Structure 1
Amino acid sequence: MKTNIKAYPEPSTLPQEGSVTFDQVYALYWKPLYRTALRILNDEQIAEDIVQDTFVRLWEHWDTMIHINIKGWLFTTSYRLVLKSLKQLKSHESIDKGNFPSLFAPEADASLHLRQLQKQVDTCIDSLPEKCRKVYTMSRNEYLSVKCIALELGISPKTVEGHVTVALKRIRESIGAVIAVLFTCFL
């Protein structure tokens, strides 16, 4: 039967003989685990369920728990179950509320969409051929004229214009879907 285990928990809280029973561990750590889960979740029933699940897992693995920090294992397991529960609660909340953030916080939505759009543009620019990317960056980020870019890179102004045209065309193609989504969000 699963009653004794050689473990090295907190020396001042459990018997000194090096073996501890499941009941002793349960009696010692149930309340602290419950309080911690309750503080995070603010739901007594869910906190209680998480602590019970933690001890069920401990019981299932009791024979393999030799030379471990029981307190650390319990709190880590409980914390992971709390995080899992928070994720589930959040997903249920978003489903229950309809998850229509553009109706509730259009400013935040606009900022998020703008960041997504900028990320898409940056990704597209990074995928351009080296010379084309250099010309585009000099044109748009450094605000250099076609003539200055041509002189600096030793290419003709027409080549500079061609690189900028290619870059802009690829960017437009890349963000076309994102623009469509943004457009429908702001209508």
Structure 2
Amino acid sequence: MAESPDIILWQRVTRSDYTAFNSIYEQYWDTLLHIALKKVNDSDIAMDLVQDLFVEMWQKRHAISIQTSLKAYLVSSLYFKTFMHFRRNGVHQKHIDNYSQFTETYVHDEFSLQTQYEENYAHILFAIERSVEDMPLRMKAVFQLKYYSSLNNQEIADNLGLSTQTVKNQLSKALTKIRQHMEAERLDTSLLSLLLLACFTYS
């Protein structure tokens, strides 16, 4: 099967072709901004979220592998960005609760492809929450400081009186535990890598 024009475009981006990246930016900016506005209801915040998404996408272009739909990947990335925004502002549960309403409201042609990503993403977030509950105390403490507080490994080590290597080991075990939990529940893990890349890229 021939590769889609978007995937070919992304392959050029991975080779640091900024013209191709700019084409993606111009093609999807309006769609992503529209979604962000509906979720955060603030034009300045929405623009910042979308801009940050594209900046990080360019910075991580060599680590990102897109095999199917570029649009679905971008929308899923935006879901994560909005989730992080709400989490930093103390309304994590409100954001989770709004997923079903968002899905019900925007099931039409433009968003039908992303509906399954939205639903799967919500399942991933809940799976992470359940996995954290079952973690040993030290692993849970390390993971929560990384995932909920966005601390780097050195900050986590300083907070808990651990070595940075211990922090790395505990995070690795925590991520393995989450993946195993999801596989046991037969959840699609395709978006898990995206979430973990964004959350754990910076040590």
TM-score past 0.5 threshold: no
TM-score by length of 2: 0.35
**Rg larger for:** 1
